[in-house]
Amino acid sequence: MTIQYLLDEHIASLYRTQLLRQAPDLIVRRIGDPDAPPRGTLDPDILIWCERNDFILVTNNRKSMPKHLADHLAANRHVPGIFVIDPSNNIGETLRELIIIAGASFEKEYQDRIEYLPLSE
């Protein structure tokens, strides 16, 4: 399985730069990219985009994203997954974890789930 990540617009662009530097085969988009939702897209619409394009959302939105996911699932929709990062955590550790997840996950492992990184805590 090839995991694809969509980085929320509030995730520093350094995450994409470093993910691609360390794992060049990874597919990483960021909100605002030409082939991703535009900046300012509402969270429910981002989840629909992720569903249609098979991207796992990487966000730091701990507050409202669980409700958006619940609403999305209640509408009989699905999402490949959501990873919520803590921007106060070490960026290097977060990047390593995202790379490990991409290389070691099985198909639909994170479907319809929200996971808080690091997974080991």
pLDDT digits (tens, 9 = 90+) for 55-73: 999 999 989 999 999 999 9
What's the CATH code, domain 4-116?
3.40.50
Would you list the DSSP string of 24-87?
TT-EEEETTSTTSPPTT--HHHHHHHHHHHT-EEEE--TTTHHHHHHHHHHTT---S-EEE--T
* pLDDT: which is higher, 119 or 12: 12
Residue 79 has pLDDT above 60, yes or no: yes
Give the pLDDT of residue 18.
96
On the question of pLDDT at 1 being above 70, the answer is no
What are the extents of the domains in the chain? 4-116
Note the pTM of the prediction, 2 decimals: 0.94
